Amino acid sequence: MDFFIEVSDEEIRRERAKARDLRKSNWWKNRIAQGTCHYCGARVRPADLSLDHIVPLARGGKSTRGNCVPSCKECNNRKRDLLPMEWEEYLARLHKPDEDRSAD
């Protein structure tokens, strides 16, 4: 498995700038208004949700709507420390016990 993708500083800067714009958009305001962490499903105050890139910019992820999700502080911190594979295992554990969680 090869996780190495070369991303230039220039590209990362550009994508960070896009993320900043995205954060000001109505699309994003609607997302966080729901007050739910994309990863763990916790109910969180909108002010405590941060914009997280599912595929990190440093790994070639883009600041697109499909790649940006609201994340609670806990998931955000955890994700930063984990390798992508470990993060997937963490998510699998989170989602396994109650797959039939009703979406409201």
Q: Using CB under 5 A as the criterion, which residues of the chain lie in contact with Zn ion when the complex forms? A: 37, 39-40, 42, 72, 75
Nearer to Zn ion (CB atom), residue 11 or residue 74: 74
CB of 18 to Zn ion, least distance (A): 23
CB of 72 to Zn ion, least distance (A): 4
Are 22 and 66 contacting, i.e. CB atoms less than 8 angstroms apart? no
Are 38 and 66 contacting, i.e. CB atoms less than 8 angstroms apart? no
CB of 15 to Zn ion, least distance (A): 22
Q: Which residue has the tokens 């994700």?
A: 79
Nearer to Zn ion (CB atom), residue 17 or residue 46: 46
Are 1 and 59 contacting, i.e. CB atoms less than 8 angstroms apart? no
**Cα dihedral across residues 54, 59, 63, 65: positive or negative:** negative
Nearer to Zn ion (CB atom), residue 11 or residue 48: 48
